[in-house]
Amino acid sequence: MRPSLFFIPGALIFWGWQMQTLWIAVVLVLIILFSEWSRTKFDLSVSDFNKFVDVSTIILAGTIVLALTIDAKKAIWMLLKWLPVVLFPIVAAQKFTSAGKIDIQSFFLTARRSAKRPFTKSGKKTGKKTTGEPTKGQIGTLGFESKKIDISYLYVLFCILSSGANLSRDYLFFTATVFFTIWALWHVRSKRVSVWIWSGFVVLAIGSGYAGHKAVLMTSIKINQWVIAHYTGMYSNNPFKTHTALGEIGKLKLSNKIVLRAAYENYKQGNTYLLHNGSYNKFLKSTWFARSDFEPIVPADNKTYWQINPKINPSLNMTLYFKPDRKKSVLSLPAGTMTISNLKADKCRKNQMQVVRVEDTSPIISADVSYTEQHVWDIQPYDRDLLIPREEVVTVTTIVGGLQLTGKTPQEILVLVKAYFSNQYTYSLELQGKGKYETPLENFLLHAGKGHCELFATATALILRATGIPARYATGFIVHEYSDLENRLVVRQRDAHAWVKAFIDGKWQDVDTTPSGFFDEDNKKNPSSFFSDLFSYLAFVLSQVRHETGKEFINKYGLWLILPLAIILVLRLRKASRIKRVKPSSDPMTAMKDQQTNDSFYLLETYLKKKGMPRYAYETFSSWLERIEPYWLEHNMSDELKILLRTHNRMRFAKAGVTNQEKETLYAAIEAIIRINQIK
């Protein structure tokens, strides 16, 4: 059943209102209304419909290309937004055709190909190509006759789905969905059921849908909260984080995912490098804390060049590649970073301990870093850098006394501390906790004798403080793995590391007391995979192409990218025969024949409807004829129609169908009955 006049226009107006494309919606509505009010219609063949489907396909392809190029993360949203425009050529073709429907073959490429060599009733191909509708004696593309459908309701459904892409949090979308659903169902409701009963079930369905929607929404919120809490605790590289607990880095080491890539100008095989994320100077039980005062850095060169610290010579250079997890991210930088270039960001800030964070960065960062190993700009030491928690004093003092560090020079102390941890302790990813001791650090130093880098760094910092050397706890990554596949260094999540910054000889220097060989232990615990690394590299290259060169490419050559699609479209439209215009006929019988479908009783149904005896939507032809028989049909004529109805049913539903002769006889008999009654 055809929808009401304003059904599609109403859905289009709602879509335009929700997606801020109201003027486009108004244009589309005017075209739809013109097709309804105009007496000009066109006789569109299957090949003509194919062209309109091709137009929509090309528009769809262009939309996908532009969406992926402009913003891949929002590609689905952009595609949903423009679905009504993408599908409009097909709907417009249906509205302007005399049949008011579109052939289903147009939507399937295989059906189009098969249409060129149609099947006969016997199942054999004719060997002849066709360009239009199947002729009599030709069965459809897949062995059955071609079928035409009305896509109006489907188009309205896409309009509603597209309207929901604006992610509004009010109840307007739900209300509109209910309204258009009731509007559509009202025209096809069963007349055998009371309107009140029908309305009751509709209200019940609306209430159930709303309750289900709220339940799903609340479940989704709970799941999101759990996921966020889980991953925030495990992957805690938060740009606003001012503390880190012992064990966080140990959890990071449980994954071999590649998170960074680096290229050093002075790289030599076997070299290792530290990339700094954060520094902390106050320790309490099992957590390190830091000052969080960040100052802005003024950019240059269109917010791509950032002067982090003053330039000095000699300088070194490296290139850092990584994909931020969020728009705000902490940078992993070498000690003594002076400048960062080719870094696209809206804001860049640093604190007094050289922690650098950026905001609103590009989806993938490829930045050139200039640094020096001779000087660092961390704030000078103060009282916090010598504090030892009360509960750790006894343990740390015992270690210092045992090593006889009192009175030694800073360099001698460093040598003794490194040797002590290297000889007396082992590296392990197992998180021991505090056991029967008061703190995890006490358990590590006095009992377990094994742990990961966080425990070694914390113990070293407190031991150095006990000897009068200011020390801070530092976190980041250790870079050591060269990839032959990528020809650069790769940094995995398991390379997360903790070490100490000690103030010796008037400057801060990195001190790492974690026993050597922990690389092998990490790799043994979480071995890398060639295929995983290959897919990671391919994803990285694709991200570079899309984000670094894609937008520039589309700005320069976007027209040339779309031009081939336009040429294909023009050639496609010119290839087939021209669309024929149909003139309105004044003869009712001729008009009915022009609108004739595969339903052989269509002429009779149309005629009797004008006589005041319509067939209801829920009635079969048999029940309809029985109902109107006392008012119109003679007994002999009723018997004849029942015979014709059996032929009609065989034609519609029997697998064998009917012969062409039987079909022509059926049509002729129906027309004869109508003419006889017109004469009477």
User: In DSSP terms, which residues pair with 261 in a beta bridge?
Assistant: 321, 490
Report whether 481 contacts 491 (CB < 8 A): yes
Rounded to 10 degrees, the C-alpha dihedral 107/113/117/123 comes to: -70
Rounded CA gap, 244 and 237, in Å?
A: 10
Residue 444 tokens, joined: 């590590």
> At residue 183, what is the residue type?
W
Look at residue 532 in the predicted model and tell me its pLDDT. 84
Look at residue 499 in the predicted model and tell me its pLDDT. 93
Residue 182 tokens, joined: 């009731």
Domain boundary assignment for the chain: 1-101+152-167+552-580, 103-149, 243-528, 588-679
Report whether 141 contacts 156 (CB < 8 A): no
Look at residue 464 in the predicted model and tell me its pLDDT. 94
Residue 596 tokens, joined: 């004739």
With tokens 């459908």, the residue in question is 149
Report whether 632 contacts 613 (CB < 8 A): yes
Rounded CA gap, 60 and 63, in Å?
A: 5
**Cβ neighbours, 10 Å, residue 191:** 11
Length of the chain, please?
680
Nearest of 311, 299, 423 to residue 356 by alpha carbon: 299
Rounded CA gap, 386 and 400, in Å?
A: 15
Rounded CA gap, 283 and 322, in Å?
A: 30
Q: Measured on CA atoms in the order 426, 432, 433, 439, is the torsion positive or negative? A: negative
Look at residue 139 in the predicted model and tell me its pLDDT. 43
Rounded CA gap, 671 and 680, in Å?
A: 15
User: In DSSP terms, which residues pair with 244 in a beta bridge?
Assistant: 288
User: Do the strands 426-427 and 450-451 form a parallel or antiparallel pair, or are they unpaired?
Assistant: parallel
Q: What is the per-residue burial (b if ≥16 Cβ within 10 Å, else e) of 28-38?
A: bbeebeebeee
- Coil, helix or strand for 237? coil
User: In DSSP terms, which residues pair with 427 in a beta bridge?
Assistant: 451
Report whether 489 contacts 499 (CB < 8 A): no
Residue 410 CA, chain-centre distance (Å), reads 55
Rounded to 10 degrees, the C-alpha dihedral 203/206/212/217 comes to: -140
CA–CA distances in Å: residue 416 to residues 423, 448, 461, 510: 11, 21, 14, 16
Look at residue 533 in the predicted model and tell me its pLDDT. 85
Look at residue 63 in the predicted model and tell me its pLDDT. 82
Residue 156 tokens, joined: 């309205």
Q: What is the per-residue burial (b if ≥16 Cβ within 10 Å, else e) of 474-483?
A: bbbbbbeeee
Rounded CA gap, 142 and 123, in Å?
A: 10
Please state at what angle helix 7-18 crosses helix 83-96, rounded to 10 degrees.
160
Report whether 577 contacts 47 (CB < 8 A): yes
Look at residue 474 in the predicted model and tell me its pLDDT. 92
Nearest of 84, 98, 147, 101 to residue 3 by alpha carbon: 101
- Coil, helix or strand for 334? coil
What would you report as the CA-atom Rg of the chain, rounded to the nearest whole angstrom? 39
pLDDT block averages, 10 residues each, the chain of length 680: 78 85 88 82 79 84 80 76 87 82 75 55 48 45 60 85 72 81 80 83 86 79 58 49 75 80 88 90 86 82 84 87 80 91 88 88 86 85 90 91 89 92 87 73 86 90 93 92 90 90 91 85 79 86 70 60 73 61 52 47 78 78 78 66 81 76 82 72
Rounded CA gap, 334 and 165, in Å?
A: 43
User: Do the strands 41-43 and 580-582 form a parallel or antiparallel pair, or are they unpaired?
Assistant: antiparallel
Rounded CA gap, 417 and 402, in Å?
A: 11
